[in-house]
Amino acid sequence: MLKKMSALLLAVVMLCTCLTACSSSGATLSAVKKSGKLVIATSPDFPPFENLENGEVVGIEIDILNQVADKIGVELVIEQMDFDSVIPGIQAGKFNVGVSGITVTEERKKNVDFSDTYFLASQAIVVTPDSAITGKADLTGKKISVQTGTTAEDYCMGEGYEVLAFTANNDAAAALTSGKADAWVVDNEVAVALAAEQGLVVLDEAMTSEPYAFAFPKGSETLVTEFNKIISEMIADGTIKGIFDQYGVLYVSP
């Protein structure tokens, strides 16, 4: 009975700690420090920002966040999920930070807080080597594959294209290679990484220019302020550029 009571008490304490560090009212810096953990939500199908390597989540944003966690003095804890679950999970206060090349949009600002921008990305058009598509003007009337919940999906639907949405970018790419889609629209750095593996072509014309940042539950002002301070220092001293260099990605400063 004593052991059962002890286990129950431990479970209650752990639940309270999680609710304090990751609550719907925001993730505070003091609560994160007290818990000793910075819990992030990510979809590891977004190389070179996040991907799985021997079962471990690695990538540009993971390297950045490991350094941020070190500077705060806590452990980085990574929770994996589909991309379209990251923002809702942050909004519900289940996690401290949402990552996966998240673009800052006015619609997303209604649901989460954002750090300052740390990188400027762009959407790219990916086609097969024998495709007649040479630019955005050729996409009218074509089937476009995208990842669900992304700005690529929003943009292509807004342009009136016939959109095929998939949970994972690998599936969106497979739709192109199998002939189900005529083109695939995805963030440029991801396009370059995945297209090279599958013999696909990334067109020179960019669809959009988009600011990347980290997402937090609403009411996370103290944690966001600390993030902004650390990220600003990492940009100024060249740390973030150095991380991008390690992955062979051109760093575009905000």
End-to-end Cα, the chain, rounded Å: 59
pTM reported for the whole predicted model: 0.78
- pLDDT range class, residue 25, cuts 50, 70, 90: low
What number is the average pLDDT over the span 150-154? Answer: 91
145 or 16: which carries more pLDDT confidence?
Answer: 145
Q: Please, what is the average pLDDT of the chain?
A: 89
What number is the average pLDDT over the span 164-169? Answer: 93
CB neighbour burial string for 77-94, b if at least 16 within 10 angstroms, e if fewer: ebbebebebbbebbbebb
Q: What is the pLDDT of residue 190?
A: 87
What number is the average pLDDT over the span 47-53? Answer: 94
CATH numbers and ranges of domains, the chain: 17-118+213-246 (3.40.190.10), 120-210 (3.40.190.10)
Helix (H) or strand (E) holding 176: helix 169-177
Q: What percent of the chain has pLDDT over 70?
A: 90
pLDDT digits (tens, 9 = 90+) for 222-250: 999 999 999 999 999 999 999 999 998 88
Q: What is the pLDDT of residue 208?
A: 83
